[in-house]
Amino acid sequence: MTSALVPSTRAMHANADKSPLQAFVKAKKKINDIYMEIEEYVDEVTQFINALHVEEEIVNEAKRKVFASYGHKVAGIREILARDHMKVAFFGRTSNGKSSVINAMLREKILPTGIGHTTNCFCQVEGSDGPEAYLIKEGSHEKLNVTSIKQLANALSREKLSESSLVRIFWPREHCSLLRDDVVFVDSPGVDVSANLDDWIDNHCLNADVFVLVLNAESTMTRAEKQFFHTVSQKLSKPNIFILNNRWDVSANEPEFQESVKSQHTERCVEFLSKELKITNEAEAAQRVFFVSAREVLQGRAEEAKGNSPSLGAIAEGFQMRYFEFQDFEREFEECISKTAVQTKFEKHSSRGKALATEMCEMLEDILKRVSVFLNQKLDQKNILIEHIQGTEIEMINVARETKLQIHNMVEGVEQKVSKTLNDEIWRLNVFIDKFNMPFHPDPLMLSYYKKELNSYVESALDSNLRARMSMALTMNMEAAERDMIARMHALLPNEKFGELTNEILARTQPFEMLYCLNCQNLCADFQEALEFKFSWGISAMLQRFTGKMKKRIRKNRATMYCQSNAQLATPTRMTIAPVGGTIKERMSIVSRLALASVGFRGTVGGLVVAGIMLKTIGWRVLAGFGALYGFAYMYERLTWTKSAKERAFKSQYVRHATKKLKMIVDLTSANCSHQVQQELSSIFTRLCRSVTNATIDMNDELKTLEAQITLLENTQKRVKLLRNKANYIQNELKIFENIYIKSN
């Protein structure tokens, strides 16, 4: 037997990268990468949802909790994926060589072996990233020396472990290609040493990808072995089972019975897999039955590790065939466990990932629809608000123009009405002055007090009469103007603001009152009464009356001439105007000439002159009679010049003086009253305008808020679309994964 018949270690390492187990390793890496993306995606979506401060109708608390639950689900799946590996469980009767088969596959004597009942508990061999091997007992995290396995797992050891307990052995991955490819081996006690088979299956077999039934080729399959796998097939759907007829090297001692015994064992094994367990057909079942010698393979591989030919460790004829058979088993085992593990482990994770991505995509689609609805509503509100703001500004300009014109007309009307009413009251001044019944005394001190009280009486009477004649109409006009302005502003203000403003304007404690400010005390302060006796038919009085009438007539004639001259300039016609002086002289009577002659005289001298002229003109008898009548008239007036007469004279003089003074302030008073009306209406209109301006500012602020909300909703919409597309991307990634690693197998 030559070494060329058996693959060298270098050749085996060279083909390690082509091992079917690499499919599981690549699939595991790929699914882990995808779930890392899913975890990042779920975190991104959850953070986005939690930071989404919009209306409750878009994302309520229930949906937030659902999104948060996805993170826990993905974290749990990632934790499972980190622990996922290809698990192969070895079962059989005591001393059938289960531990030897595992040692042969690992190419080192790791598990305790020997005659009799050797393995006392479950031993799980898995890869370690470190250079040192160690083991951990169940329920403990203490790392023990791997040599302790010979004591802990050996049935002959004094330290007894429970049959269902598990000892985990961590072996450096670099020492074994199978461990490097994420394969985990589970050795078990003999199925004939315990009745707790259900516990074994529940604790150690539910996640196994492949079962290896190790039989003793020197005997046949027992009922205990069959019963165990019947139980396994009931709890697992069509488990993958390989049957190794170990210790086949003993057949070299009886070569004449070798083939018949092999056929007998093969027939029984195929019948057990295909007909009793019904997990496969006969052809496939025949491909899963092998005849090997684990002890020989372990010895041969030990020699190979030393650089020798594996055949140096052979102890019986036919070693090469048994060695090749063991390699065939390993190859079939690798293909089966890789395919099975990818399907049983990763297909479920892929489906869960797609379902999760689909759910998130649907929820994001629902959020997108809600965001779109809110966005359209906000856009409609924005357009309506912009139209309202623009309409308010245009209407405000029109209302301001019309209201200013209305105020101007009303102010002019008030000014005219106040002027007319005040003039009427001035003409009636003597009427209510006559009603002033305070006792009159010509004494200067008493007279000063009398004038003060009379001024107050006149001022009060005028104010009272003006109020009586104007207040009611003016108040009605003011209220009508206010209502008209408020009505005009109604369309420009929101209802709630309009109500507040109307209440504020109409809730004044007192109606508008006009302040006339006549101030007769100051106005008539320069009034000087003349209460000394003056004969009404005296020369001076007659001359004053006569000259006054003449001056008045002269002024009238001059005004007529001025108008005629202007008319002559306008109409080119010739007119002859007689001299005014000649006309007056022709019409003057004798008395007139006498009066003109004595214009420059005063008192007695004037009287003597006039008397001398009249004596010469009309004679002394007529003159004496005239003098007697004149004296009688003088005496009568002198005797009737009593306190009452003085009071009447005082009031008459006061009426003339007050009339003159009051006429001087008619325009000022009417202007002042119109200014008050203008100020009141302008104040109301200003408040209305301010309210409209504030309402416009509020609408502009609302518009800015709407624009900010629209921007937020638009950004939210873009982000939701992006997240939804990421969900579709993850679904496509998982579909590609299934096509490459699951459906292709």
Q: Mind spelling out the 3-state secondary structure of 231-254?
A: HHHHHCCCCEEEEEEECHHHHHHC
Single-letter code of the amino acid located at 215? L
CA torsion 14→17→20→25, rounded to 10°?
A: 150
In a domain, 618, yes or no: no
Spatial separation of the C-alpha atoms in residues 402 and 391, rounded to whole Å: 16
In a domain, 24, yes or no: no
* Predicted confidence (pLDDT) at residue 573 exceeds the cutoff of 50: no
In a domain, 525, yes or no: no
Spatial separation of the C-alpha atoms in residues 262 and 138, rounded to whole Å: 40
Indicate which CATH number applies to the domain containing 271. Answer: 3.40.50.300
Global pTM value: 0.61
In a domain, 164, yes or no: yes
Give the rounded percent of residues in the chain with a pLDDT score beyond 70: 78
Spatial separation of the C-alpha atoms in residues 655 and 649, rounded to whole Å: 10
Tokens at 28, concatenated: 């595991």
Long-range CB contacts (< 8 A, 24+ apart) of 527-535? 527/451, 527/653, 527/654, 527/657, 527/658, 529/447, 529/451, 529/649, 529/650, 529/653, 529/654, 530/649, 530/653, 531/442, 531/646, 531/649, 531/650, 533/637, 533/638, 533/641, 535/633, 535/634, 535/637, 535/638
Match 């479920």 to its residue by tokens.
348
Phi, psi of 494 (to 5 degrees): -60, 155
Spatial separation of the C-alpha atoms in residues 124 and 137, rounded to whole Å: 11
Q: What's the structural domain count of the chain?
A: 1
Q: How high is the pLDDT of residue 85?
A: 84
Spatial separation of the C-alpha atoms in residues 77 and 64, rounded to whole Å: 21
Of 393, 368, 386, 391, nearest to 707 by C-alpha is 386
In a domain, 116, yes or no: yes
Q: Which residue has the higher pLDDT, 286 or 555?
A: 286
Contact 741, 30 (CB under 8 A): yes
Q: How high is the pLDDT of residue 577?
A: 39
Domain that holds residue 205: 85-316
CA torsion 18→19→24→25, rounded to 10°?
A: -70
In a domain, 571, yes or no: no
Q: How high is the pLDDT of residue 601?
A: 45
Single-letter code of the amino acid located at 529? E
Residue 237 pLDDT grade (very low, low, confident, very high; cuts 50, 70, 90): confident
Residues 433-471 pLDDT 10s: 888 888 888 788 888 888 888 888 888 888 888 888 877
* Predicted confidence (pLDDT) at residue 591 exceeds the cutoff of 60: no
* Predicted confidence (pLDDT) at residue 637 exceeds the cutoff of 80: no
pLDDT, average across residues 607-631: 71
Q: Which residue has the higher pLDDT, 290 or 68?
A: 290
Tokens at 16, concatenated: 């390690």
When the pLDDT of each residue in the chain is averaged and rounded to a whole number, the result is: 79
Residues 418-443 pLDDT 10s: 888 888 888 888 887 888 888 888 78
In a domain, 463, yes or no: no
Consecutive H or E run containing 131: none
Q: How high is the pLDDT of residue 407?
A: 87
Residues 500-543 pLDDT 10s: 555 555 555 456 677 777 778 887 888 887 777 776 666 666 66
In a domain, 655, yes or no: no
Residues 206-230 pLDDT 10s: 788 899 999 998 888 888 888 888 8
Q: How high is the pLDDT of residue 148?
A: 56
Q: How high is the pLDDT of residue 9?
A: 40
Q: How high is the pLDDT of residue 291?
A: 94
Q: How high is the pLDDT of residue 722?
A: 93
Q: How high is the pLDDT of residue 326?
A: 92
Lowest mean pLDDT among 121-130, 243-252, 436-445, 627-636: 627-636
pLDDT, average across residues 28-36: 90
User: For the chain, percent helix, then strand, then coil, each to nearest 5?
Assistant: 70, 5, 25
Residue 564 pLDDT grade (very low, low, confident, very high; cuts 50, 70, 90): low
